[in-house]
Amino acid sequence: MARMKFLCDAERCIECNACVTACKNENEVPWGVNRRRVVTINDGSPAERSMSVACMHCSDAPCAAVCPVDCFYFTDDGVVLHDKDICIGCGYCFYACPFGAPQFPKNEAFGSRGKMDKCTFCAGGPLPDNSPEEFAEYGSNRLAEGKLPLCAEMCATRALLAGDGDTVSEIFRERVTWRGASGFAWGWGVAYNKPGIRRGYAVEDKATGGD
């Protein structure tokens, strides 16, 4: 049995937000809810990196651990799903999740948030596969059709990988082997052959003067 995983290759992500758009369109998620987002760290500096992030489908999922009504469950593929008919919208999963994956359609007075919504790895929910009810509540169920999540399928630079953990890590391992793991591949110093500014961002920042 496969163990489904997402992996975002930060050396490749160009922050085009196609994954975000693809997800929103495919699953027709409510206004205000984004199951996936792209976060850019050190925006504008030589150390800039972007990462597409959504539910990472943890094995020891903090959301499932803290849920007061126990509405989470794990599929045979290791996908973390939840039952919206049981969810009470308390927001505890949002506190516990390190990735900020759980989203709520509302943020109103008296703790009114609505039912939690998050990435399903395009695997729907507890309702019958590909039924209109399932689509309305949880969005697309591509996994049941033998397809992978659309965000990863759409990724133009193949930065976002989705699929069985073994396959995904094999692809990534191969990439790392070819481009080298110690950071030589990236940056101004490499492009202009300035060996002195290869080591780390601190040196690089000084040498380039934030260029």
Partner 1 sequence: MLWSLLLLFALTLLLPLIPYAVAYVNPDAGGVPNPGSELWREVRHANVGTTQVQGVDSGVLISEYGERWRQYRMQQLAPWGAMVLGAMVGIFIVYYLVRGKIRIEDGRSGKRVRRYTTTEMTVHWILASTFVLLALSGLILLYGRWLLIPLLGASGFSVTATVCKLLHNYVGLLFAAIVPIAFFLYLKDSLFNLKVDGRWFMRAGGYFGGEEPSSEKVNAGQKMWYWVAMLGGFVLITSGLLLDFTNLFQQGREWLMGAHVVHTIASIGVIAFFIVHLYLATVGVEGALESMVNGHVDANWARQHHDLWYQELQAGQDSTVPKEGLKAGGTHAGGVASPLVKD
Task: State the residues that interact with partner 1 by CB under 8 A.
Answer: 10, 17, 20, 32, 34, 37-43, 47, 49, 51, 53, 62, 65-71, 83, 85-92, 94-100, 103, 107-113, 181-184, 186-187, 198-201, 204
Residue type, 103: Q
Closer by beta carbon to partner 1, 86 or else 148: 86
Q: Which is nearer to partner 1, 9 or 143 (CB)?
A: 9
Q: How far is the CB of 89 from partner 1 (least distance, A)?
A: 8
Which CB sits closer to partner 1, 104 or 143?
104
The C-alpha atoms of residue 71 and residue 42 are separated, in whole angstroms, by 37
* CA distance linking residue 43 with residue 41, whole number of Å: 5
Least distance to partner 1, CB of residue 146, Å: 30
Q: How far is the CB of 17 from partner 1 (least distance, A)?
A: 6
| Strand, helix or coil for residue 79 | coil
**What's the min distance (Å) between Cβ of 107 and partner 1?**
5
CB nearer partner 1, residue 136 or residue 176: 176
Q: What's the CA gap between 47 and 184, in Å, rounded?
A: 13
Contact 32, 105 (CB under 8 A): yes
Q: Which is nearer to partner 1, 68 or 210 (CB)?
A: 68
Place of tokens 């500096």: 45
Q: What are the C-alpha distances in Å from 130 to residues 13, 122, 133, 145, 171? A: 31, 11, 8, 9, 30
Least Cβ distance, residue 145 to partner 1 (angstroms)? 27
The answer to whether 205 and 198 are in contact (CB under 8 A) is no
CA 39, 14, 79, 175 dihedral sign is negative
Q: Which is nearer to partner 1, 78 or 89 (CB)?
A: 89
